[in-house]
């Protein structure tokens, strides 16, 4: 990047790249307070980052220069910022609790009317299922919800229903089918009772191969047990923007919960795609999540740049990705209910920012989308934290935890939080050679180590430290808090997309694989040898056909 702010940051980087956070904390006893932000119960301590006050100032200058604030206001006001699909980006409207109207650029009418109508329809439907007013074809109450969808039509509902399990309504179990591997749908339905199972087919386009295959197989499973196709209407509802395709599939449009093309799949849990969530936890908790997200939206719009949480988190990612050349980012929720959060954020972040062409169609300069990964603490400490502490790759990470446990049990929560706090401290501080030597000498003193091994082991016991992290801490993982957290990550993605000049709201990159897969699928429909691909693909397909003949 060759703009003024970028050049100033590059020059600044040369002067601070080798600073150690240990020293930065030594020099400023107030560092934590200076590099922390909060919003209600959300505290974000970003002091364990390799930044100085000047770094932050220069990063904020970069945001200004990249037009982040202008683009943000365009997004909220319905401008068609998703330029390659000529669409507005208004997932924020789905959770707009302000009472203010929202219009899509070039379209008359307040979208909030439709948003309100769908939320009310969701509420009525959920209450019907919960009260038993909506029953199966043999008049059974619904006991099991099976949500069929993939990507943004699955990852969000799966993650949120797990995260909010403590808020689930009794007597209703939820299941998810996403993979076209037959195992997914077979294993999911095998113990279910068709009479009390409700299938929610979630697909924005209603053309996604995996989802249609799974929905057709689910319907076949249902009809094998029921026999009467008129019963389908009581056991299948749809979530989509494509009423025609829903009708063609055989679901009554009256049982379709609509959303709109200005809601991206990976940003869609806040409306009809959230139906499985609302069925599982109830509409009140679902709307509480919307309120949390709206609070973060207001914060993102109104907070001063230096206190703006999504802005700062986005800029810190730029700092590591584009200046330190650290291309991955990890998310470690120290809460078992949030174990699916990293997978959800992978799509949100990587399908949004995994682009190498700017919105204007020019090749990007430098790194864009970071490789996002992660997993629940404390499990990760026994799997990949070795690399985090002593590997050659440095991985900036978000650590997330909550003060209140949903399952208080002895000292488990303190043990969990002790690790949450200690890991970011260890990553930042490290363990110097002299400290490591003292540790080894203490082992010798205690008779746990032969003296002659001290020097041999010493290099293995040194921790360089200076590994950055953000500590994200909230009071309790409740629906409101979850809404705040997820909206925070959505806007972080927005900030980075803006600075890289890409369009975070399209996903043309998923098309090629789909196109080739349908070609290969056709090649697999007979026994004839394949020769129309590269030699590897030809050989693999022919090898499979040979094995298939042996298996059959
Ligand atoms: O991965 C491509 C994608 O279009 C995602 O963006 C989307 O969330 C997913 O497939 C499912 O799409 P649909 O909701 O239209 O079935």
Q: How does pLDDT run across 27-59, given as a tens digit for each residue?
A: 999 999 999 999 999 999 999 999 999 999 999
Q: Is 151 in the pocket of ligand 1 (CB under 6 A)?
A: yes
351 is catalytic: yes
Question: Which residue is closest in CA terms to ligand 1's atom 10?
Answer: 151
* Distance in Å, CA 505 to ligand 1 centroid: 12
**Is residue 142 very low, low, confident or very high in pLDDT (cuts 50, 70, 90)?**
very high
Mean pLDDT throughout 114-134?
98
Any ligand 1 atom below 6 A from CB of 203:
yes
Please confirm, yes or no, whether 85 is among the known catalytic residues. Answer: no
Separation of CA 201 and ligand 1 centre (Å) = 13
Please pick, among 14, 190, 382, 550, the residue that the annotation labels catalytic. 382
203 CA to middle of ligand 1, Å?
7
- What number does the ligand 1 atom closest to the CA of 268 have? 8
The pLDDT score that the predictor gives to residue 313 is 98
Confidence of residue 165 (pLDDT cuts 50, 70, 90): very high
Alpha-carbon gap, residue 36 to 45, rounded angstroms: 4
Ligand 1 lined by 268 (C-beta under 6 Å): no
Q: Is 466 in the pocket of ligand 1 (CB under 6 A)?
A: no
Q: Is 266 in the pocket of ligand 1 (CB under 6 A)?
A: yes
**Would you say the CB of residue 178 lies under 6 angstroms from ligand 1?**
no
211 lines ligand 1 (CB under 6 A): yes
For range 185-201, the mean pLDDT: 98
Crossing angle of the two packed helices 68-76 and 479-500, in degrees rounded to 10: 130
Test site for ligand 1: of 176, 179, 265, 503, most ligand atoms within 8 A of the Cβ? 265
Q: Which residues contact 209 (CB under 8 A, 6 or more apart)?
A: 180, 514, 517, 518
Q: For residues 156 and 259, give the distance between their C-alpha atoms in angstroms, rounded to a whole number.
A: 15
pLDDT average, residue stretch 302-325: 98
Structure tokens at 214: 């799974």
According to DSSP, the β-strands at 42-45 and 144-148 are unpaired
Ligand 1 contact via 153 beta carbon (within 6 Å) = yes
Distance from residue 22's CA to the centre of ligand 1 (Å): 44
Which one from 295, 351, 355, 490 is the annotated catalytic residue?
351
Percentages helix, strand, coil for the chain (3-state, rounded to 5) are 55, 10, 35
- pTM flag (> 0.95): yes
| 145-164 tens-digit pLDDT | 999 999 999 999 999 999 99
Confidence of residue 287 (pLDDT cuts 50, 70, 90): very high
Question: Does residue 468 line the site of ligand 1, with CB under 6 A?
Answer: no
**Would the pLDDT of 358 be above 90?**
yes
Any idea what the Cα angle at residue 109 is, between residues 489 and 504, rounded to 5°? Answer: 25
Q: Which residues pair with 256 in a beta bridge?
A: 238
State the distance from the centre of ligand 1 to the C-alpha of 151, rounded, in angstroms: 5
Q: Which two tokens stand for residue 60?
A: 């904020």
Q: Which pLDDT score is estimated for 2?
A: 79
The DSSP letter of residue 84 is G
Which residues, at least 6 apart from 280, have a Cβ–Cβ distance to it below 8 Å? Answer: 145, 161, 164, 168, 169, 172, 174
CA of 153 to the centre of ligand 1 (A): 7
Query: Measuring CA to CA, which residue among 114, 105, 109, 110 is closest to residue 74?
Result: 105
Nearest CA to ligand 1 atom 16: 203
For residue 191, the model assigns a pLDDT of: 97
pLDDT band at 400 (very low <50, low <70, confident <90, very high): very high
Q: For ligand 1, atom 8, which residue shows the shortest CA distance?
A: 152
Q: How do residues 479-513 score in pLDDT, each as one tens digit? A: 999 999 999 999 999 999 999 999 999 999 999 99
Note the pLDDT tens digit of each residue in 195-238: 999 999 999 999 999 999 999 999 999 999 999 999 999 999 99
Residues 6+ apart with CB under 8 A from 61: 5, 8
67 φ/ψ sector (left φ>0, alpha ψ -120 to 50, else beta): left
The mean of the pLDDT values for the chain is 97
Let me know if 533 is a catalytic residue: no
Residue 552 has pLDDT above 90, yes or no: no
The predicted pLDDT at position 483 comes to 98
- Judged by phi (left if over 0) then psi (alpha if -120 to 50, else beta), residue 361 lies in left
Given the CA of residue 152, which atom of ligand 1 is nearest to it? 8
Which alpha helices (DSSP H) does 28-147 contain, by range?
31-34, 53-65, 68-76, 91-94, 112-131
Q: Is the pLDDT of residue 1 over 80?
A: no
507 lines ligand 1 (CB under 6 A): yes
Would you state the pLDDT for residue 292?
Answer: 98
Give the containing element (helix H, strand E) for 240.
Answer: strand 236-240
48 close to ligand 1 (CB < 6 Angstrom): no
Nearest CA to ligand 1 atom 3: 151
Contact 211, 179 (CB under 8 A): no
């Amino acid at each position: 990047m060759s703009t003024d702010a970028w050049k100033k940051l590059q020059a600044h980087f040369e002067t601070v790249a080798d600073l150690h956070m240990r020293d930065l904390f030594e020099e400023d006893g107030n560092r934590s307070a200076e590099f922390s932000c909060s919003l209600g119960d959300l505290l974000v301590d970003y002091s364990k980052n390799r930044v100085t006050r000047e770094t932050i100032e220069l990063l904020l200058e970069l945001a200004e220069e990249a037009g982040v604030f202008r683009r943000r206001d365009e997004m909220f006001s319905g401008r068609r910022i998703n330029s390659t699909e000529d669409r507005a980006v208004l997932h924020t409207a789905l959770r707009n609790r302000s009472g203010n109207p929202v219009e899509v650029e070039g379209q008359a009418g307040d979208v909030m009317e439709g948003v309100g109508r769908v939320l009310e329809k969701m509420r009525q439907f959920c209450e019907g299922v919960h009260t038993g007013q909506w029953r199966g074809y043999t008049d059974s109450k619904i006991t099991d919800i099976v949500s069929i969808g993939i990507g943004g039509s699955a990852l969000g509902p799966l993650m949120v229903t797990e995260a909010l399990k403590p808020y689930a309504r009794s007597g209703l179990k939820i299941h998810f089918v996403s993979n076209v591997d037959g195992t997914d749908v077979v294993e999911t339905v095998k113990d279910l009772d068709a009479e009390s199972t409700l299938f929610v087919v979630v697909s924005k386009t209603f053309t996604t191969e995996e989802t249609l295959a799974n929905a057709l197989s689910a319907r076949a499973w249902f009809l094998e047990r029921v026999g009467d196709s008129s019963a389908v209407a009581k056991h299948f509802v749809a979530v989509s923007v494509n009423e025609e395709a829903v009708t063609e599939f055989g679901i009554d449009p009256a049982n379709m919960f609509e959303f709109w093309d200005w809601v991206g799949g990976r940003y869609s849990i806040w409306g009809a795609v959230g139906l499985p969530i609302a069925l599982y936890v109830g509409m009140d908790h679902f709307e509480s999540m919307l309120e949390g997200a709206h609070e973060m939206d207001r914060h993102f719009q109104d907070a001063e740049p230096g206190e703006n949480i999504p802005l700062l988190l986005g800029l810190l990612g730029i700092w590591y990705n584009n200046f330190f050349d650290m291309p991955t980012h990890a998310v470690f929720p120290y809460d078992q209910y949030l174990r699916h959060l990293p997978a959800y954020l992978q799509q949100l972040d990587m399908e949004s920012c995994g682009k190498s062409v700017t919105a204007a169609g020019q090749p990007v300069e430098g790194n864009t989308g970071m490789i996002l990964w992660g997993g629940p603490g404390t499990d990760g400490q026994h799997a990949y934290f070795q690399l985090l502490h002593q590997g050659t790759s440095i991985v900036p990470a978000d650590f997330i935890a909550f003060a209140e446990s949903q399952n208080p049990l002895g000292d488990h929560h303190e043990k969990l939080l002790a690790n949450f706090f200690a890991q970011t401290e260890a990553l930042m501080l490290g363990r110097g050679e002299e400290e490591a030597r003292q540790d080894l000498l203490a082992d010798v003193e205690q008779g746990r180590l032969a003296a002659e091994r001290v020097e041999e082991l010493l290099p293995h016991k040194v921790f360089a430290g200076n590994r950055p992290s953000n500590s994200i801490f909230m009071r309790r993982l409740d629906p409101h808090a979850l809404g705040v957290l997820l909206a925070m990550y959505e806007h972080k993605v927005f900030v980075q997309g803006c600075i890289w000049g890409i369009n975070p709201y399209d996903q043309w990159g998923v098309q090629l694989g789909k196109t080739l897969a349908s070609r290969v699928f056709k090649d697999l429909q007979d026994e004839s040898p394949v020769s129309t691909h590269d030699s590897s693909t030809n050989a693999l397909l022919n090898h499979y056909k040979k094995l298939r003949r042996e298996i059959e």
